[in-house]
Amino acid sequence: MTTTNSAATAFSGTGTVLNPASGEVAGEVRWTDPSDVQSIATGLRAAQREWERRGAKGRAKALARYAVWLGDNREEIEKLLIAETGKSSTDAAQEVPLLIMILSYVIKVMDKAVAPEIRPASLPLMRVKKIAIHYRPRPVVGVIAPWNYPVANALMDAIGALAAGCAVLLKPSEQTPLTAELLRHGWQQSGGPDVFAVVQGAREVAEAVIDNADYVQFTGSTATGRKVAERAAQRLVPVSLELGGKDPMIVCEDADIDLAAHAAVWGAMFNAGQTCVSVERVYVLESVYDKFVAAVVRDVEALQMGAGEGKHFGALISDQQLAITERHVKEAVAAGARALTGGRRAAGPGSFYEPTVLVDVDHSMSCMTEETFGPTLPIMKVASVEEAIRLANDSVYGLSASVFSRDVSRAKDIALQLDCGAVNVNDVISNLMCTSAPMGGWKTSGIGARFGGEDGIRKFCRQETVVAPRTNLGAGGNFYNNSLKTLARTNRMVTRMALARPRRTAK
- φ and ψ of 357, to 5 deg: -105, 125
What contacts 413, CB < 8 A, 6 or more positions away? none
Cβ atoms of 439 and 452 within 8 Å: the answer is yes
Cβ atoms of 109 and 439 within 8 Å: the answer is no
Catalytic hit among 276, 367, 420, 461: 276
Question: What's the CA dihedral at 231, 235, 237, 242 to 10 degrees?
Answer: 10
Residue 503 is given by DSSP the state P
- What is the DSSP code string of 104-150? HHHHHHHHHHTS-EEE--SSGGGTTEEEEEEEEEPSEEEEE--SSST
What contacts 445, CB < 8 A, 6 or more positions away? 222, 242, 243, 244, 245, 397, 398, 399, 420, 421
E strand or H helix at 316 = none
242 is a catalytic site residue: yes
Question: What's the CA dihedral at 440, 241, 91, 353 to 10 degrees?
Answer: -110
Catalytic hit among 174, 242, 354, 370: 242
Task: Please state, in angstroms and as integers, the Cα–Cα distance from residue 258 to each residue in 62, 221, 292, 299, following that order.
Answer: 45, 33, 7, 10
Task: Please state, in angstroms and as integers, the Cα–Cα distance from residue 54 to each residue in 114, 137, 237, 458, following that order.
Answer: 13, 12, 26, 17
Cβ atoms of 280 and 268 within 8 Å: the answer is yes
- What is the DSSP code string of 202-242? SHHHHHHHHHH-SEEEEES-HHHHHHHHHHHHTTT--EEEE
CA distance 133 to 127: 16
CA distance 352 to 343: 12
- The dihedral through the CA atoms of 306, 266, 283, 430 has a sign that is positive
Task: Please state, in angstroms and as integers, the Cα–Cα distance from residue 316 to each residue in 94, 175, 253, 319, 362, following that order.
Answer: 17, 12, 34, 8, 25
276 is a catalytic site residue: yes
Cβ atoms of 366 and 377 within 8 Å: the answer is no
Task: Please state, in angstroms and as integers, the Cα–Cα distance from residue 183 to each residue in 139, 201, 264, 402, 446, following that order.
Answer: 21, 17, 32, 33, 26
The three-class DSSP label of residue 396 is coil
Cβ atoms of 292 and 379 within 8 Å: the answer is yes
CA distance 304 to 88: 10
Catalytic positions, please? 242, 276
